[in-house]
Amino acid sequence: MKTYVIQRLVIALLTLLGMSVVIFTLLRLAPGDIVDILFSTAGYVSQDEKTAIMKELGIDRPYWVQYLDWLRQILTGDLGKSYRYDQPAWQIIRPLVPVTLELAALSTLFAVLIGVPSGVISAVRQDTTLDYLLRVFSLAGLSMPAFWLGMVIILGLVTWFAWIPPLSYVSPFQDAKLHAVQFLLPSLAVGYRSSALIMRITRSSLLEVMREDYIRTAWAKGQTGRVVIWRHALKNAMLPVVTVIGIEFAFLIGGLVVTETVFNLPGVARFLVQAILWRDYPIVQNLVMFIAIVVILSNLLVDMLYGVLDPRVRYGG
């Protein structure tokens, strides 16, 4: 197990290194840079002034020098300065991280709480009215983009209750109730869509396991339905479900752009899009690296869980 984890961490580091090259290159391939944007807000461009600003920001240097400088900054824990805000990138990124992590975690939690039980019920009550209803419910979730659902929620709230959630981040230490309300609605909107996927995977995986010989044996031995389904079948059916949950969580870290925008939550994804529009390289590079780290770690965690769920899975060797 220990060797396996070390191996995975080494691979993760190499992946991150590869990612850094990709991020860096793609950003430089995009047309325009921060100086163009700065002039854009002024409505004109002066080549001399542009050259001076590029020098000031260090983006006139060869790309490889800029890249190595960025790697050096990461290794020393200094993420550089935001071009747009002229402040340390870490100071700007730090408040965004908990918002997105909380939103993604809550959304995943709702997705699991809705998706797994409904998947189990749907599988156990296969081809009954309840099964059909749950499948329609899940299909609706898959068909509705979370941002659309978010907009509908906002419009519904404002139309019927003349109320919308807070417009800026409310810390749980500041007002726990308002904080919960602020995160509940977007989490439900996102969680519903993810739950649909989880429900369908749970259902199909469980149906497959239910047809295994050892399940038939369990029924033959006179085990209760609860024991057969929850203890024997579901545990084995959970491997693909856990994989999906891991992927969904990782996706949500960087994929909540529109939900964060609609609900006006100051999270990573919303800020990332703005930083890309401004070609604020230090912010974009480090935020994408953060997302990559979360994706890699969540994958690692899923792999660890395989061993817990299925003893046949062996690590190392």
Partner 1 sequence: MSRVRVALLSITLLALAAVLLAPSTSQSQSPKSGGVLNMMLREDLSQGFAIHETSTISTVWPAMPCFNNLVLFDPLKKTESAETVIGELAEKWSWQDNFRNLVFFLRKGVKWHDGQPFTSKDVKFTFDMLREAPDSPAKLRINPRKDWYSNIEAVEAPDQYTAVFRLKRPQPSLLLMLASGYTPVYAAHVPPADYRSNCVGTGPFKVKEWRKGESVEFVKNSDYFIKGRPYLDGLKYYVILERSTRQAAIQAGKLDVSFPGETTKTAAEQLKKAVPQLVITPFSQNVADNIIMNMKKPPFDNLKVRLAVSHAIDRRALVQAVHQGGAVIGAGLAPKPWGFWGLAEKDLVGLPGYGAKAAEEKALAKKLMAEVGFSAQKPLKVEIATRAIAVYVDMASFVVNELKQVGIEATLKQIDTAQWHATATRGDYQIGANLTGVGPDDPDANYYENYACGSPRNYSFYCNEQVMKMFDAQSQELDPKKRLALNAAIQKRLEADAARPILDWKVDYFTVWPHVKNLIPHQSIYNFGRMQEVWSDK
- Residue numbers at the binding site for partner 1 (CB under 8 A): 31-33, 36-46, 49, 52-53, 56, 84-87, 92, 95-96, 151, 154-155, 157-159, 162-164, 167-169, 261-264, 266, 270-271, 274, 277, 279
Q: How far is the CB of 180 from partner 1 (least distance, A)?
A: 18
**Nearest distance in Å: CB 137, partner 1:** 26
Q: Identify which of residues 68 and 277 has a Cβ nearer to partner 1 in the complex.
A: 277
| DSSP labels, 174-232 | T-HHHHHHHHHHHHHHHHHHHHHHHHHHHHHHHHHHHTSHHHHHHHHTT--HHIIIIII
Instruction: Measure the CA–CA gap between 96 and 169, rounded to whole angstroms.
Output: 10
CA–CA distance, 25 with 166 (Å, rounded to integer): 38
Residue closer to partner 1, measured from CB, 4 or 39: 39
* CA count, 13 A, side-chain hemisphere, 42: 11
Based on CB atoms, which residue is closest to partner 1, 57 or 302?
Answer: 57
Residue 266, amino acid: P
Residue 215 C-beta: closest distance to partner 1, Å: 49
Q: How far is the CB of 182 from partner 1 (least distance, A)?
A: 13
Q: Give the closest residue to 167 by CA, choosing from 149, 184, 146, 182.
A: 182
Q: C-beta of 283: minimal distance to partner 1 in Å?
A: 10
- Our CB check for partner 1 shows the closer of 154 and 252 to be 154
Structure tokens at 60: 């006139």
Minimum CB distance to partner 1 smaller for 33 or for 248: 33
